[in-house]
Amino acid sequence: QSLLTQSPSASGTPGQTVTISCSGSISNVGTNAVNWYQQLPGTAPKLLIYNNNQRPSGVPDRFSGSKSGTSASLAISGLQSEDEADYYCAAWGDILKGPVFGGGTRLTVL
C-alpha cells in the first residue's frame, strides 16, 4: 500500500494551473525532500522534480514543487495536452530505508 497520500485524479483545461498534493508523515515527507515523477501513458516514470523544488535539466519551468511540513505540492502552469499523465510523489522513508511512493494522481487535460 502507498504510504504517501495523493488524490486519485485531477483535471484542467489548456492554459490553466493545476496543483497536485501529496501528504505523508514525519518519517518521510516531514524529514526528507519530496521528488515527483511523471509517467506518460505506456512509458517509464521520469523524474520531474527533486529535492522538493529542483528541476532536472530539460524539465520546463511550468512545473514547480513545494513542501511544507508533511505535505507537498506539484504545480503545473500553462497546462498542455501533453501533460496528461500519472504523477507520483515520493520521499525517502527513514524506517523503510528506501523511497516511499504516493498512489499517483491521474491528470486529465480537458
Partner 1 sequence: QLQLQESGPGLVKPSGTLSLTCSVSGDSINNRSYYWAWIRQPPGKGLEWIGTIYHSGNTFYNPSLKSRVTIYAYTSRNEFSLKLSSVTAADTAKYYCASGDYTNYYYYNYGLGVWGQGTTVNVSS
Q: Does 103 bind partner 1 (CB under 8 A)?
A: yes
Q: Does 30 bind partner 1 (CB under 8 A)?
A: no
Among 43, 58, 68, 82, interactor with partner 1 by CB under 8 A? 43
As measured in angstroms, the least distance from the Cβ of 16 to partner 1 is 25
Among 29, 35, 72, 74, interactor with partner 1 by CB under 8 A? 35
**Matching residue, cell 501533460:** 83
Q: Within a 10 A sphere around the Cβ of 57, how many other Cβ atoms?
A: 4
69-88 positions binding partner 1, by CB under 8 A? 88
Secondary structure (DSSP) of 32-100: S-EEEEEE-TTS--EEEEBTTTB--TT--TTEEEEEETTEEEEEE-S--GGG-EEEEEEEEETTTTEEE
Is 29 in contact with 14 (CB distance < 8 Å)? no
Q: Does 90 bind partner 1 (CB under 8 A)?
A: yes
Binding site for partner 1 (CB under 8 A): 2, 32-33, 35, 37, 43-47, 50-52, 56, 88, 90, 92, 96-104
